[in-house]
Structure formats: C-alpha cells, structure tokens
Amino acid sequence: MEIWYKRSMSENYMVIAGTELQIEENYQIRMLLENQVPGLLPCKVQKINGEEFFYYEITGCQSLQNLFEKRKFGYKELEELFLGVFRIMEKLDEYLLNRDFLLLQPSCIFQDKGEHRYCFVWIPCIHGNIEMEFRQLTEYLLPKIDHTDKQAVTLGYGVYKESMESNLKMDFLKEHMNTKTEEYEGEEKNYDVEDQQERQKILDDFYKEEEEETEGILGKLWPVFIIVMGAVIFLLVRNWWRYGSVYLLIGILGIAGILGGIGCWCFFWKKKQEEKKPPSVLRMCEENEEVLMQETEQETGTTVLLQKTRMPRAYLEELEWEIPKKFALEKEITIIGKWRENVDICLEIPTVSRMHGKIIHREGKDFLIDLNSRNGTMLNEVWINPEEEYELKNGDILVFAQKKFRYVCIKELREEGYGLQ
C-alpha cells in the first residue's frame, strides 16, 4: 500500500492510493465518507486518471512515530493509547465498519493537537488483519516503554503477552485494560514477576559463569604470587644485616606498591564487570524520581546554542535580528517547535506548532522534514510537503511559520576554503 503526504493551501493530507482497495466494499466506503466517525481521521476521495485516492486530513496532528521518536512511554501514555484503540473498535462496530481495515502502524496513528486524543486511519485493504496489526503495535511499544515506570512495564508487557496468545480476542484485552490503576500500584501480576525473575536469573547466571571463569584463573595465580612474595621477603630479611635498613625499607615499599597495584587492578576489574551487567529488570522499576528527572532532561533536551569553543557540523542562524542566535545541529535528530519539554530548538511563537519540523542527519547529510505543522514550513521560499525529506545545502533559507533561519554547513564552508577551525 503506497502512502505519501501532500500540502494543499493551509491543510496537510496523508494520501493513500486506491490500487489495493476492495471497491466492492462500497457501503463501508460511503459510511466512511458520509459520516464523521469519532476517532477516525476526516477523509475524502479524489479520482485522478480513473484511479481513486483517499485523502486523510492530518493538519496539526502528530503521528505516534514522531511523538515518541525521542520520548519513552509512561503508564499514562500507554493507557491513553490502548484505550484509544479499544474505543475506535467499538465505534467501528457501531458504524458497521470492518475492524480488519484499521491501520495500527505507528506512522498511521495520530494525536489530535487540541483534545490530545488519538485518531486512526480506516481504509478497506486486501490484507487487513486487526489481530496482527495490534501484535505489531505492541512489539513496537516494548522497547519504547520507560523501564523506570513500574506501572508502564507491567501494563505494556502484560498486554504484549496477551496479544501473543492464540485466538486473541480484542474484548479480552479490553477487559484487561479495565483493571483499576490501584491494582497496579498495590501488586504486580504474577506472570510479570515470574517472567522478570526468570529473565534476570538467566542474565545473572551468564555473568556468574563469566566471573567464575575469570576468578578461577586468578585463583590459580594467587599461590604462585604468594610463593614469589614469600621468597622476596625471605631474601630481604636475610640480607638486611648486609645492606642495612635503607635496603629493607626500599624492599617493603616495593612490595607495598606491587600489592597496591594488584588491589587497584582487581577493584577496576570488578567495577568493569558490574558495568557490563545490564540493570536488573526488577530493580529498574525501583529507580528514584530524581534520577528519572535527570535522564528525562538529558533525553528531551532544550535549545542548544552554538558555543564559541566548539564547532558543530552545522547550525541554524536566525535572520532578521540584529544579534542573531545560532542553534547547533549536533544530534542525529533535531526537533523544532514550541513544546519546550520535547523539542531541541524551542521557538516560543504562537504560529509555530508544538512539534513543527525536524532535521535529521544521515550519511553525512542533513534533511529537513515538516511534521504536519498547521502553518507549514518553507525551504528557499517554497512550501514543502509534510513528512517528506528535503536535503539541505549551505545557505538554504528555512521558514518555520514566521521564523526565518539560514542553514550553515561547516563542512561545505571548509570545502569552499573559508578556513574554519
């Protein structure tokens, strides 16, 4: 199924070609077009050269893929997503629409800007299967769960396990979701605890064997070391009367140095082994809030100003300012918008969307992408389509709503002979 994105005037659309559509499902298509089903994206059909194209309006919405590209799912976010899926299931049944035609790929699930509710894409596809779609969604979620959030781990892993059971019924998962929050706070599900302990036991056994192997080698070396040290001490005492106390002092200091060196080596070896171990699955849920806040702050980041002592690969330079700011582009993904907690370059302007656009770095090049912003993004005075990549060149002019920047590539400047350090 081919999907692309298009900007028309002040609206953004996700477009799906009708080459794989089951046209015989006419009554369902009419139901979709003639009714605004709560939870589904607004849709219209256009015919071009005899082929049907479904246009889904996504203006101001953010896909699940973009929202959590650099964030982790907490319990609240997971609960909202799962409840959104179950609610849309009920609405599809109410409007007599086939559940198997619902798309649950992260790029096809959107969050509405105003009400922060999830909106979905429904389209009659040949190979639709809601059970498979939901399993793939839970597989996508697992590595993105905040493992310091005890409730999120319990909920995410529990729903994933249920989704993998044979003859899965969505109603059963809905019943699983109806469990009250207090139950998650008071006690963990038995299968979660057992599975976590089992996984942790496997990891511990693996590292225990590795430690025992190394400690076995050390155990064989210790007798040799003791014999050598005993011989050295014997020689020092025996020859003390001949060479005097200075000789004995030097010998004692030498022995102390050797022992200290061996002790330091053992200490750092132990520390290195501990660092190699992954954190305990159970212990990860017991991290304190202070550490969590520090990690979150580092992960989300804030506006990064260009430092004089460090030259990044590229930067954005504000235009139309007497003393322009320069924003370094040092990450693989740099998100631009006014949602301070979840962007890298924060533009506190009303016309800028919460997550307006992003610049990604790949294979030595930077690419600009508009994230379905309401007021759009311009590249060299041309509106760009949402969710499409546009390669940036040194000197390009970028406009996010009303905010104008110049893209400066240090590498290209060096190649042009500007002599930057």
The pLDDT tens digits for 290-326 are: 433 344 444 444 444 444 445 678 999 998 777 788 9
Mean pLDDT of 169-195: 52
- As a whole number of angstroms, the distance between CA 43 and CA 123 comes to 10
- As a whole number of angstroms, the distance between CA 148 and CA 286 comes to 7
- Are 375 and 347 in contact by the 8 Å Cβ rule? The answer is no
H or E stretch covering 261: helix 245-276
The predicted pLDDT at position 105 comes to 92
Residue-wise pLDDT for 406-418, tens only, equals: 999 987 766 665 5
Mean pLDDT of 188-210: 48
Mean pLDDT of 119-128: 80
- As a whole number of angstroms, the distance between CA 241 and CA 326 comes to 75
For the cut 50, the answer to whether the pLDDT of residue 102 exceeds it is yes
Mean pLDDT of 44-69: 87
CATH number of the domain located at residue range(s) 301-415 in this protein: 2.60.200.20
The predicted pLDDT at position 307 comes to 46
How does the average pLDDT of the chain come out, rounded?
Answer: 76
Query: According to CATH, where is 1.10.510 located in the chain?
Result: 1-187
Task: Tell me the pTM.
Answer: 0.61
Pick the CATH number of 1-187 from 1.20.5, 1.10.8, 1.10.510, 1.10.490: 1.10.510
Residue-wise pLDDT for 316-347, tens only, equals: 999 877 778 899 998 999 999 998 888 999 99
Query: According to CATH, where is 2.60.200.20 located in the chain?
Result: 301-415
Mean pLDDT of 7-28: 73
The predicted pLDDT at position 270 comes to 65
- Going 332 to 336 to 342 to 348, the CA torsion angle's sign is positive
Beta strands in 3-78 (DSSP E): 3-8, 11-17, 43-48, 51-57, 62-63
Residues with Cβ within 8 Å of 284's Cβ and at least 6 positions away in sequence, in order, are: 147, 148, 153
For the cut 70, the answer to whether the pLDDT of residue 109 exceeds it is yes
* 95's tokens: 């409007």
- Triad 209, 210, 215: Cα angle to 5°: 95
CB-facing half-sphere around the CA of 294: CA atoms within 13 A: 5
DSSP 331: S
Residue-wise pLDDT for 352-397, tens only, equals: 998 999 999 999 899 999 998 989 999 999 999 999 999 999 999 9
